Amino acid sequence: MTDPVAYAKQLADQLEQMLEQEFETLRTQEIDQFELIQPVKTELLEEITRLAPSANDIQVLPEWQEFRNTMILCRDLHRRNAVLMERKLEAIRGTLESLRSEDPSSSVEVYDRLGHVSRFGRKSGYSDA
């Protein structure tokens, strides 16, 4: 069997690459690709969890230092991805809310049934005069 420290480091490197790919799919809104990445990422995390010693051991054992550094980077990449995902979800929620809003002062432009752009929530025409 291979050295568990080297193997864990290899898996951590793969996780880092996976998190970078995940970021790109989120950034470019390639949802299908994003969904394909998730099971692979989960498998990597499960295998890393199985191989790695306790957090205390990783802190004190020098042979685990590179692994620890890579996992810290992975944590930061995961947080970055989570922030990006949350921002995108907030933008979607905001858009949906503005489309549902019946606020007459709404300045959101939407298409009507004929494909013309109109301001949502405002009636324009002769009846307003």
pLDDT tens per residue, range 94-106 = 888 877 776 656 5
Backbone dihedral region for residue 53 (phi beyond 0: left; psi -120 to 50: alpha; all else: beta): beta
pTM of the predicted model as reported, rounded to 2 decimal places: 0.73
* Whole-number pLDDT of residue 97: 83
Mean pLDDT across the stretch 35-57? Answer: 94
Phi, psi of 29 (to 5 degrees): 60, 40
Sign of CA dihedral 75, 79, 84, 88: positive
How many domains, in total, are found in the chain? 1
Length of the chain, please? 129
- Measured CA angle at 38 (ends 31, 84), to 5 deg: 55
State the residue range of the domain holding 56. Answer: 4-128
Which residues contact residue 57 at a Cβ distance below 8 angstroms, ignoring those fewer than 6 apart? 64
